[in-house]
Amino acid sequence: KRHAIFPSMVVQMAAIGEETGKMDAMLEKVAEFYEDEVEASIKSLTSIVEPIMMIFVGGLVGFIIIALYMPMFALFDKIK
């Protein structure tokens, strides 16, 4: 049976829980599975975002340094 709202694993676990009379235990297992899945997704997202942020911050710092030193270099050229 396919359900549009719930994945087939959730439906199967609920059916097993109904048959065995341990619906709460089955739903806890489903919740643990999805918690682990969310944690793994967050870890992978963090590992992707972290280097991008480092590059962005490095570029920003480089831009600020160049913006500060360019007028000084221009002034030194005019003095010579």
Write the pLDDT tens digit of every residue in 35-55: 999 999 999 999 999 999 999
Q: What is the pTM for the complete model shown? A: 0.61
pLDDT the model gives residue 17: 92
Map tokens 């999805």 to a residue.
Answer: 34
Rounded to the nearest 10 degrees, how much is the dihedral formed by the CA atoms of 50, 52, 54, 56? -150
pLDDT the model gives residue 7: 85
